[in-house]
């Protein structure tokens, strides 16, 4: 019988928790911040995904004395010099909704022909006080208008290379086989299986 492990995800985003949980080994369960008893504010004041992910995971791991997984991810648009980038979740303001961020990006891209973009995800696992980083990227194009109702964030605009559908038009399993977060998760899962097999 494999030992069971609990991880705290440094987020209360249920979409994110579901996406990550589906890929973790079966003997790992993922708690949201709320479930783990965290009610503080998590700062993200670094200018890199790696810095933000590490800051969040270490903060929660030290405060709750728990092994913690965090992610920092975003969309980098070539014609916007990499924006929104690490500011993807707050592109339209500190407490912006996904829809407000999406609307701002649509407006920013209105007259731009070059629609190349990439999604980037960095996961930080703090296990027994030590941080480990895992990174994934997926390149693609931005659609002219939002399409689809699955996913979250900028998924209704993002068309991965080699496909004609946006992430929001794909089933969760299809998106999970392609996404930036899934690529980082593949690296994380490989690490977990090698470490705890």
Tokens 């407490």 correspond to 95
Residue 54 CA to residue 56 CA, distance in Å, equals 6
Residue 33 CA to residue 117 CA, distance in Å, equals 31
Q: Is 81 a catalytic residue?
A: no
Catalytic residue among 72, 81, 114, 155: 72
Residue 8 CA to residue 80 CA, distance in Å, equals 34
DSSP letter string, 67-85: -EEEEEEEEEEGGGTT-BG
Structure tokens at 127: 């296990």
Residues belonging to the active site: 72
């Amino acid at each position: 019988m494999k030992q069971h492990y609990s991880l705290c995800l440094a987020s209360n985003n249920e979409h994110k928790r579901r996406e990550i949980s589906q890929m973790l080994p079966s003997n790992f369960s993922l708690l949201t911040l709320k479930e783990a008893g965290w009610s503080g504010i998590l700062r993200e004041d670094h200018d890199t995904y790696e810095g933000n992910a590490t800051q969040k995971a270490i903060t929660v791991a030290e405060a709750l004395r728990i092994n913690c997984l965090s992610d920092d991810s975003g969309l980098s648009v070539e014609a916007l010099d990499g924006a929104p980038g690490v500011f993807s979740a707050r592109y339209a303001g500190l407490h912006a909704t996904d829809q407000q961020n999406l609307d701002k990006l649509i407006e920013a891209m209105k007259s731009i022909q070059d629609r190349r973009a990439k999604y980037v995800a960095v996961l930080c696992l703090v296990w027994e006080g030590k941080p480990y980083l895992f990174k994934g990227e997926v390149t693609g194009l931005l659609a002219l208008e939002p399409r689809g109702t699955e996913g979250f964030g900028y998924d209704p605009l993002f068309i991965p290379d080699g496909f004609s559908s946006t992430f929001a038009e794909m089933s969760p399993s299809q998106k999970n086989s392609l996404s930036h977060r899934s690529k980082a998760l593949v690296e994380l899962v490989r690490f977990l299986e090698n470490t705890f097999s």
